[in-house]
Structure formats: C-alpha cells, structure tokens
Amino acid sequence: MRTVLITGGSRGIGAATARAFAQNGDRVIINYQSSHQLANSLAEELGGIAICADVSDKAQVQAMLAQIGEVDVLVNNAGFAQFAMFDALSDEDWQRMLGVTLSGAFYCIQGVLPHMIHQKSGAIINVSSIWGITGSACEVAYSTAKAGLIGMTKALAKEVGPSGISVNCVAPGVIDTDMNACLGDDILKQLAEETPLGRIGTPEEVAKTILFLAEGGHFITGQVLSPNGGLVI
C-alpha cells in the first residue's frame, strides 16, 4: 500500500485528490493548516490521517514528516489566492505567497526524497495553475510562484529521473472550489463562457489528473498537464 501525502488536503482539489487516492487503495495523509474539523472528518471517512502543519514553516513540515514516516507519493497542493495590484503588494504578501507555494514544496520534497531515492521509485506532483503559464493581472505574486513550481518540476525531474522518481505538474484552469468563491457569480459565468468546454472544472477532474500522474507505466516526467477545459491551449 502506497503512502500518499497531500498538502492542503482538507478542502477543494486536495480533498478530492485524497478521495481519489483512497478509492485507489492508497493510504492518505491529509495535511491542512486550520480546517481541523474538515480534515479530521475526511481522514476518518477515508481511513487516513490528518496532520496540521503550515507548509511554509520548515520545522512544522519536518515534524509532520517525522509523524508520517516514508512517503511514496507527494502532492504539493497547498495554496491560496491573492488579488492585488503589483504596486500594492506588501513584502509580507510576497513572502507569504512564495513561502507557502515554493518553500512549502521545497521543504516537503526535501523531506520525502531520501526514501524515494533509496527505494528507487516515487512520484511528486506539484499543483501549479494556468496563471503560472500565462500570467494573470492582479495576481503577479501568485503567477510568479506558480511559474516557479513549473521550473522546479522540470529541473527536479531531470535530477531525480535516474533514481526512478517522476516529477510532474498539474496546472488547473478555473475550478469550482472555495478559492474562487470570492470572484462572484458574474465573473465565474464569464470565465465559463470563455472556456471552450463551456463550464468551469470540478475538483474531481483535477484529482483524476493527479492520480493518473502518480501511477507508473506512463513514461511521463517533467511535464505540465493542464486540466482547463481548453481555456489555455
């Protein structure tokens, strides 16, 4: 049975991903930051465990990994939206975005790699965004961090490929989660109309893509797969 760590697994894409892996027969570890009740009831439902840790804090990540032991699949999914004009971004906003998105992935990957290298197998999936590919106005920090995850994915794939480890990226389009609730119905409707498939995506569709990348036998590494309904082609 594989052990799968999903950061930000309490809600949205992370929770759907935890469900997909559990249905696949994997042992799921649900990391979260503050949604104690959601994370713990999901873990109970899936027969996994929930662990509270802010991924931007190295000590908290190390304590979480010490509690888990060996991890076979890591999904770096924890993230948050941040809307602001570039000149209004504070140092704190900037550091928080890079801390959660990039340092969080860095700390988690460094922690799980020794076991993956030792067993000569493993899968790492980083959750980026279409905005990390195309850039988004008023989301420069978010776009920068998500583009950084793509660079990390490609470089690390080259470095650890010889150890039998795949590193891939999922770059979702607009997905129906809490993260987009603040956009409002009119903007979401407009985004759906701009999407060739005519709707926004579901967390389950992204989870399916992540699960696929975590499976062996597809010869895919260092790639960005974008479930986005055709919004970005």
* CA distances for 5 relative to 36, 52, 64, 226, angstroms: 17, 12, 10, 21
How near is the Cβ of 154 to ligand NAP at its closest, in Å? Answer: 18
What DSSP character marks residue 227?
-
Residue 139 has φ and ψ, to the nearest 5°, of -140, 45
Residues in the chain: 233
How near is the Cβ of 171 to ligand NAP at its closest, in Å? Answer: 7
Q: Which is nearer to ligand NAP, 67 or 118 (CB)?
A: 67
Tokens of residue 220, six digits? 């895919």
How near is the Cβ of 162 to ligand NAP at its closest, in Å? Answer: 28
Catalytic choice (32, 106, 131, 142): 142
Q: Which is nearer to ligand NAP, 3 or 76 (CB)?
A: 76
Q: Which is nearer to ligand NAP, 33 or 119 (CB)?
A: 33
Reference 206, options 127, 101, 143, 152; nearest CA is 127
Tokens of residue 148, six digits? 């950084």
How near is the Cβ of 57 to ligand NAP at its closest, in Å? Answer: 8
Task: Assign 3-class secondary structure to 161-187.
Answer: HHHCEEEEEECCCCECCHHHHHHCHHH
Q: Which residues bind ligand NAP (CB under 6 A)?
A: 7-14, 31-35, 54-56, 77-80, 100, 127, 129, 172, 174-175, 177-180
Q: Which is nearer to ligand NAP, 117 or 208 (CB)?
A: 208
Gap between the Cα atoms of 129 and 131, Å rounded: 5
Beta strands in the chain (DSSP E): 3-6, 27-32, 49-52, 73-76, 122-127, 165-170, 224-225
Active site residue 32: no
Residue 41 near residue 11 (C-beta atoms within 8 A): no
How near is the Cβ of 209 to ligand NAP at its closest, in Å? Answer: 11
Q: CA angle at residue 79 from 78 to 82, to 5 degrees? A: 170
Tokens of residue 95, six digits? 């550091």
Q: Which is nearer to ligand NAP, 80 or 86 (CB)?
A: 80
Residues recognised as catalytic: 142
